[in-house]
């Protein structure tokens, strides 16, 4: 390692005094002007990670659904998954190290993680459409170059596209071609094969309105449009030409505010969906004939996909094990429907994509979605081999047909990470094949009314949870109080968990009516305020 070059370049990307940041599920995220040093240092870390695992590593410059003036960075591991938790710690250490300690911290990481400095390093870089992203990417490149890493800059891509490229590269092309064309071709071919049957049944054109959050999704969907079958007509809104990224639009806005985005004009019963800023989340919605807004969130997306896959697996007649993975935020009605009506096992894990992804890997077919619309389906190696073999060699026509549909579905799904483009195509194909309208999909079950609240506390660490965050262990007396409150309402449950990013405690409550859900959430928030060191005035109903 050339310590003089490191000193020189590091001085060009100085760390602001007194700034400490934490690498979390979303990587680093904060105001763009505070990130220059972090980007440079994540360039350094990516080189070390690449040398440690002897594979290509990805770096994505994005702050997803945050406001336009923010930015962020996350690293992508060899198979397109999120950075290994032990390296999240190294990322935090490196980002917060003082200038003169930088060399020492790098040396320590190399020792702890057994990094061979003489190996080659290869990095793939991508960025979103934020005004600050291009300049911050340059800082990443400086970091990579100082430690002698090789890099390929893909420029503007969605986050899932970068995850996909990294996986393609490290599987020597088995997962696909590590180019944008490769991505568009693989997905559109699988999609076209899938909906062929539904189009031959004489169905006319399929229209879908898409709110692109004024982000990267719009650019990439426009590039991909020529690859779609002509019967599929997508109409893009909030394409980034006029308004600010994520401002009053995007999947997060629609989910939180339970209303349509600005700039998208909805007619009754039209299918609409929203991507988030970096296109790794998707939610659907429509307005009924009376003008009432209906949200179809990640829980209902997981349910639709599960129904489809379960039917196919039954037809193929293989003993492949399927399960759905949720978090405590999943609506109680969805869990009940999956377990009782569909008879599919449901597992609950802690909040955060990495926990869902990890659990889903335990099954032949693992479906996971967060209620916010981030999710995908994972197929085990064994399941994939079986399905491809049946699609090719099965003598029974019906079984072979079902295996082919499964194979195309598998190729359409981006198994590395939640991908709004891929998820959208999967949903559109399933609705077409099953002849379902958006209203029929919505009517599978009725969500229990719920309410999300947050309470400011002096220190969020006073709350500790267990049972996938569904029960509070500390402070003493809090869980007993919640249990007592929950007993007052029908079909109710409530849980509290500390925020991963700020000193607030998040509260979720659901019950048989909106009035009861609101009342329960408020009562639980008062309990948190009094027992967990609330700040400011007590919560008001």
As annotated, the active-site residues are 64
Q: Where do we find the tokens 């290869």?
A: 122
| Tokens linked to 538 | 């007590």
Beta-ladder partners of 323:
366
Between vectors from CA 20 to CA 532 and to CA 34, what angle results, nearest 5°?
120
Question: DSSP secondary-structure letter at 338?
Answer: I
268 is in an annotated binding site: no
497 is in an annotated binding site: yes
Put residue 238 in one of left, alpha, beta given phi > 0 → left and psi -120 to 50 → alpha: left
Query: Are the C-beta atoms of residues 366 and 273 closer than 8 Å to each other?
Result: no
Q: Which of 363, 316, 330 is nearest to 344 (CA)?
A: 363
Q: What is the dihedral of CA 301, 305, 308, 310, to 10 degrees?
A: -120
| Parallel, antiparallel or unpaired: strands 504-510 and 450-456 | antiparallel
Spatial neighbors of 164 by CB under 8 A, at least 6 apart, are 80, 175, 176, 183, 414, 416, 419
276 is in an annotated binding site: yes
Sheet of 206-211, strands arranged across = 232-237, 206-211, 272-275, 282-287, 293-296
Residue 67 CA, chain-centre distance (Å), reads: 17
229 is in an annotated binding site: no
Question: DSSP secondary-structure letter at 56?
Answer: E
Query: Are the C-beta atoms of residues 101 and 108 closer than 8 Å to each other?
Result: no
In whole angstroms, give the CA distance from residue 217 to residue 336: 33
200 is in an annotated binding site: no
498 is in an annotated binding site: yes
96 is in an annotated binding site: no
Element (H, E) at 49: helix 36-53
Q: Is the dihedral of CA 446, 449, 455, 460 positive or negative?
A: negative
Q: Which of 31, 133, 17, 41 is nearest to 95 (CA)?
A: 41
Q: Within a 13 Å sphere around the CA of 393, how many CA atoms are in the beta-carbon half? A: 6
| Tokens linked to 233 | 């007509």
Largest CA-CA distance found in the chain, in angstroms, rounded: 70
Q: Which of 250, 296, 242 is nearest to 277 (CA)?
A: 250
499 is in an annotated binding site: yes
246 is in an annotated binding site: no
Instruction: Provide the annotated binding site.
Output: 64, 276, 278, 280, 370-372, 497-501, 506
Binding residues for Mg(2+): 64, 276, 278, 280
- Point out the annotated binding site for substrate: 370-372, 497-501, 506
């Amino acid at each position: 390692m050339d310590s003089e070059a490191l000193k020189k370049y590091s001085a060009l990307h100085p760390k602001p005094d007194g700034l400490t940041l934490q690498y979390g599920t979303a990587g680093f995220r904060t105001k763009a002007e505070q990130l220059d040093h972090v980007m440079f240092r994540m360039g350094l870390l990516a080189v070390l990670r690449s040398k440690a695992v002897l594979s290509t590593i990805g770096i994505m410059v994005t702050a997803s659904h945050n406001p336009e003036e923010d930015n962020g960075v996350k690293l992508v591991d060899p198979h397109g998954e999120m950075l290994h938790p032990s390296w999240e710690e190294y990322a935090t250490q490196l980002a917060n190290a003082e200038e003169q300690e930088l060399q020492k911290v790098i040396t320590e990481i190399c020792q702890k993680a057994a990094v061979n400095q003489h190996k080659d390093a290869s990095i793939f870089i991508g960025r979103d459409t934020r005004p600050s992203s291009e300049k911050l990417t340059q800082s990443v490149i400086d970091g990579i170059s100082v430690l002698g890493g090789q890099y390929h800059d893909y420029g503007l891509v969605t986050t899932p596209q970068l995850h996909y490229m990294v996986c393609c590269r490290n599987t020597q092309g088995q997962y696909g071609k590590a180019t944008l064309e490769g991505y568009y071709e693989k997905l559109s071919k699988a999609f076209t094969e899938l909906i062929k049957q539904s189009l031959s049944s004489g169905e006319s054109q399929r229209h879908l309105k898409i709110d692109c959050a004024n982000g990267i999704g719009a650019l990439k969907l426009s590039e991909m449009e020529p690859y779609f079958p002509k019967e599929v007509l997508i109409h893009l809104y909030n394409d980034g030409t006029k308004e600010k990224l994520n401002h009053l639009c995007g999947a997060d806005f629609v989910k939180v505010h339970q209303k349509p985005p600005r700039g998208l004009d909805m007619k009754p019963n039209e299918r609409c969906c929203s991507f988030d800023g970096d296109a790794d989340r998707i939610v659907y919605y429509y307005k009924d004939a009376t003008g009432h807004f209906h949200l179809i969130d990640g829980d209902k997306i997981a349910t639709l996909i599960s129904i489809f896959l379960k039917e196919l697996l039954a037809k193929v007649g293989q003993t492949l094990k399927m399960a759905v993975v949720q978090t405590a935020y999943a609506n109680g009605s969805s869990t009940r429907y999956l377990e009782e009506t569909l008879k599919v096992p449901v597992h609950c894990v802690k909040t955060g994509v990495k926990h869902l992804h990890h659990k889903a890997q335990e099954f032949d077919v693992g479906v996971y979605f967060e209620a916010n619309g981030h999710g995908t389906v994972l197929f085990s190696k064994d399941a994939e081999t079986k399905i491809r073999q049946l699609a090719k060699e099965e003598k029974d026509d019906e079984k072979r047909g079902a295996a082919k549909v499964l194979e195309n579905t598998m190729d359409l799904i981006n198994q590395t990470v939640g991908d709004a483009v891929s998820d959208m195509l999967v949903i559109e194909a399933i609705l077409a094949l099953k002849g379902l309208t958006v209203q029929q999909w919505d009517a599978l079950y009725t969500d229990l009314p719920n309410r999300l609240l947050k309470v400011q506390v002096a220190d969020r660490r006073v709350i500790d949870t267990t049972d996938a965050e569904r029960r509070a262990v500390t402070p003493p007396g809090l869980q007993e109080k919640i249990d007592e409150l929950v007993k007052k309402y029908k079909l109710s449950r409530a849980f509290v968990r500390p925020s991963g990013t700020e000193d607030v405690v998040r509260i979720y409550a659901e019950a048989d009516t909106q009035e009861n859900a609101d009342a329960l959430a408020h009562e639980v928030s008062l309990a948190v305020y009094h027992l967990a060191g609330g700040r400011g005035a007590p919560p008001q109903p």
